[in-house]
């Protein structure tokens, strides 16, 4: 019974991964999916720069705090 459950889990995990991979391929290449990389409006450069700087700062702060422990 345990081997069957492991097999079912592995097949489900592989199916989820393969579906995600196919969606990512469609997203990048503008195929079949409803929203693609090219369908969204382009945000302003300054806003993107601020968000990226904040995310990088949050990562640096978290990394610095965990590295000291």
Domain ranges of the chain: 2-67
So what's the pLDDT on residue 52? Answer: 95
Q: List the one residue out of 22, 43, 41 whose CA is nearest residue 33.
A: 22
CA distance 68 to 62: 10
SS3 31: coil
Q: ∠ at Cα 23 (38, 56), nearest 5°?
A: 65
| Structure letter (DSSP) for residue 35 | S
pLDDT, tens digit (0-9, with 9 covering 90-100), for 24-69: 999 888 888 888 777 767 778 899 999 999 999 999 999 888 876 6
């Amino acid at each position: 019974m345990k081997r069957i459950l492991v097999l079912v889990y592995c097949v489900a995990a592989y199916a989820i991964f393969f579906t995600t991979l196919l969606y990512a391929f469609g997203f990048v290449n503008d195929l079949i999916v409803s929203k693609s990389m090219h369908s969204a409006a382009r945000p302003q450069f300054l806003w993107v720069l601020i968000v990226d700087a904040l995310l990088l700062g949050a990562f640096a702060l978290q990394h610095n705090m965990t590295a000291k422990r």
